[in-house]
Amino acid sequence: MKRMVLLILLIAGAALLVGAGALPQVRSIELPPDNPMSQLKPGPGVEVVRADCVACHSTDYIVRQPRGDAKRWGAEVKKMISVYGAPVDEADAKVVVNYLATAYGPAEAKETKEKSSAKPGAKTP
Amino acid sequence: MSSNFMRTGISRRNFLALAGAAPAVASGGIFDAVRALAAEDPILEGRPLVKYPEKTDLILLTSRPPQLETPMKYFAQAITPNDAFYVRYHMFPPPTRVDLSAWKLKVGGNVDHPLEFTMDELRSKFTPARLVAVNQCSGNSRGYVEPRVNGGQWGNGAMGNAEWTGVRLQDLLDRAGAKPGSVDISFRGFDTPAAPTLHHFAKSLPMTEVADSPDIMVAYEMNGAPLPMLNGYPARLVVPGWYGTYWVKNLEEITVWDHEFESFWMQKTYRIPANHCECVPAGTALTRTVPINRMKVRSFIITPADGTRVKVGRPVALKGIAFDAGYGIADVEVSDNQGSTWQRAVLGRDLGPYSFREWSAPWTPPHRGSFTLSVRAVNRMGESQPFEANWNPAGYLRNVIEKIQVTAV
């Protein structure tokens, strides 16, 4: 009888342990590296963008944006500096805006637009 | 280097190390076998499908911080699986490790008894609340806004619907004893921005809203399982009917305020025009604004998918989802002629007013050619969706009537 009780206690104890093990106290994940498919296009000034614009976010943030002229990109760069405190001095900012307005400029936009409007079934917003 | 950074004494080198930045990244892991999305949709075109931890293949918007979009096929069912649920972080690094023996939810500020709860206490000391609710990013569908606007260029997949289980916010506040005259209540996650110039993510709700809504909760389960890390493990705020920006992830601090709570994330961004249409003329700037709040009515056709070929004379089951801010969907209608005439759809099971509502409508292509199929929903308040999209410079609140193109052969 005593042995029986002991056995039950042992089984109950084991079940408790298993139960506790089912709810892990520590959980962790590991994030993958930056998306290699969103690297900046080559062009004059690209090395400045690589140095100044990748600390807080991956380059997908830049290459996925709508195309824009110097005014539009200028506003983005200004926002990075004044709103988020990006460490970019005036000389660098000029180079960055110049690069963006060329590599991701409005000329590009026309091309993309023509391409997509020529496509049947393109999204009509 | 700007004086800003000099002042904080952080050199660019430290800053990069802090941010864990690697300017040029070698391809590896999840990107090796990546298939870029096909060209049907100009916004999704070229974006890779990637598998992040605890997630299935999702459409990558940005990798650092992670922003992952749910492919539309997952909305064929009202409930979005946890591993397919979209991800939106503002800053890097997001939390990647949680030790439950160290985590506590603090409730403090303008209260009689500041309290702390462990996960065990949240689960055992309160009657669990449970409801199904849509979480949709304020900027869902921003990519389709014309004229285009800057910001995350989402397609339509920055949304999901889940059953949430947790503790009612009102119950937490009752225990802590929120003092009379409290104005705002704020919510803060434990994700800390790497750069000292960035603003810690925190949002607030007016106390009046919280007093009126027993449905707001601190959720520790999503579809019956703990939250995925990237959806806010171990607990997130659930504000049914409100845009996702309020659903603070990786929650650790709730604070009651006797004055207006101030945060970059309330005062400087996530603002919408303070007028009836919540819109401004395309291309113009905001003047008077209020914080974004309740979701607008939306509906989508999920099957057939955009661009599908169908057979003349053969019936097709059009199916999809509709949702609003929690008044509930009253009707869904479809049109195959740009909205000249509409056909009423049959609504699916009612999972509660905050949930996706499935709908279906039979449609037989009457002749060969290309058809534009449109869908619109109306809620129990009589609110519906516009033919022409309303515009605001941040690209929030999109709820234009959605269209797909099918070809009958």
Which pLDDT score, from 0 to 100, does residue B269 have? 95
Picking from A82-86, A115-119, B76-80, B233-237, which range would have the lowest pLDDT averaged per residue?
A: A115-119
Which residue in A has a C-alpha nearest to residue B194's C-alpha?
A56
Compute the nearest-CA separation of B78 from chain A (Å).
24
Q: Token match 């925190």: residue?
A: B202
Structure confidence at residue B46 as a pLDDT band (50, 70, 90): confident
> Given the structure tokens 């959720």, which residue do they identify?
B219
CA–CA distance, A33 with B270 (Å, rounded to integer): 29
Using DSSP's 3-state secondary structure scheme, residue B373 falls into strand
Contacting residues of A for B16, CB less than 8 Å apart: 55
**Statement: residue A121 has pLDDT above 70:** no
Q: Which residues contact B372 (CB under 8 A, 6 or more apart)?
A: A124, B336, B337, B338, B403, B404, B405
Please tell me if residue A19 touches chain B, with a CB cutoff of 8 Å: no
Interface contact flag, B144 A60, Cβ < 8 Å:
no
Write out pLDDT tens, residues B273-314: 999 999 999 999 999 999 999 999 999 999 999 999 999 999
What is the tens place of the pLDDT at every residue in A8-28? Answer: 444 444 444 444 445 679 999
Residue B112 has pLDDT above 90, yes or no: yes
Encode pLDDT of B386-401 as tens digits. 999 999 999 999 999 9
**Domain annotation for chain A: domains and CATH numbers:** 36-107 (1.10.760.10)
Which pLDDT tens digit goes with each residue over B219-278?
999 999 999 999 999 999 999 999 999 999 999 999 999 999 999 999 999 999 999 999
Mutate to test the interface with A, among B62, B122, B231 (most CBs of A within 10 A): B62
Residue A115, pLDDT score: 43
Residue B345 CA to chain centroid, in angstroms? Answer: 26
List the single residue in A28, A33, A120 with the smallest CB-CB distance to B96: A28
Q: Which residue has the tokens 């490790």?
A: B97
What pLDDT was estimated at residue B42? 86
A124 touches chain B (CB under 8 A): yes
pLDDT tens by residue, A99-120: 999 999 996 555 444 444 433 3
The count of C-alpha atoms lying within 13 angstroms of the C-alpha of B133, restricted to the half-sphere facing its C-beta, is 28
The total of other beta-carbon atoms located within 10 Å of residue B226's CB is 20
Q: Chain B residues with CB inside 8 Å of A123's CB?
A: 40-43, 144, 306
B18-43 per-position pLDDT tens digit: 333 333 333 445 664 445 665 578 89
Half-sphere CA count of B337, side-chain side, radius 13 A: 8
Taking CB atoms and an 8 Å cutoff, what residues of chain A touch B405? Answer: 120-121, 124
What is the C-alpha to C-alpha distance for residues A9 and A15, in angstroms, rounded to an integer? Answer: 10
- In 3-state terms chain B splits into helix, strand, coil percentages (rounded to 5) of 15, 35, 55
Interfacial A residues in 95-114 facing B (CB < 8 Å): 112
Whether residues B405 and A25 touch (CB distance < 8 A) is answered with no
- DSSP assignments along B308-362, one per residue: -EE-TTS-EEEEEEEE-SSS-EEEEEEESSTTSS-EEPEE-----TTS-EEEEEE
- The CA distance from A65 to the nearest CA of chain B, in Å, is 6
- What digits encode the pLDDT tens for the residues A62-71? 999 999 999 9
Alpha-helix residue ranges (DSSP H) falling in A23-105: 46-52, 60-63, 70-82, 90-103
Rounded to 5, what percent of chain A is helix, strand, coil? 60, 0, 40
Contact A123 B12 (CB under 8 A): no
Ordered alpha helix ranges (H), B213-317: 264-267
Give the model's pLDDT for residue B1.
29
What beta strand segments (E) does B6-136 contain?
49-51, 57-62, 67-69, 87-88, 97-99, 105-109, 115-117, 129-136
Number of CB pairs, chain A paired with chain B, less than 8 A apart:
171
Closest by CA position to B301, among listed B365, B358, B346: B358
Using the Cα atoms of residue A52, residue A54, residue A55 and residue A57 in order, give the sign of their dihedral: positive
Question: In which band, very low, low, confident or very high, does the pLDDT at A36 lie, cut at 50, 70 and 90?
Answer: confident
ipTM field: 0.87
Residue type, B201: F
Please give the helix or strand (H or E) that residue B218 lies within, else none.
Answer: strand B217-222
Q: Is the pLDDT of residue B143 over 70?
A: yes
- How many percent of chain B have pLDDT more than 70? 90
| CA distance linking residue B182 with residue B258, whole number of Å | 4
Which chain A positions have a beta carbon within 8 Å of B63's beta carbon?
32-35, 38, 58, 60
Distance from CA of B324 to the nearest CA of A (A): 20
Say whether A57 and B307 touch across the interface (CB within 8 A).
Answer: no
pLDDT digits (tens, 9 = 90+) for B144-159: 999 999 999 999 999 9
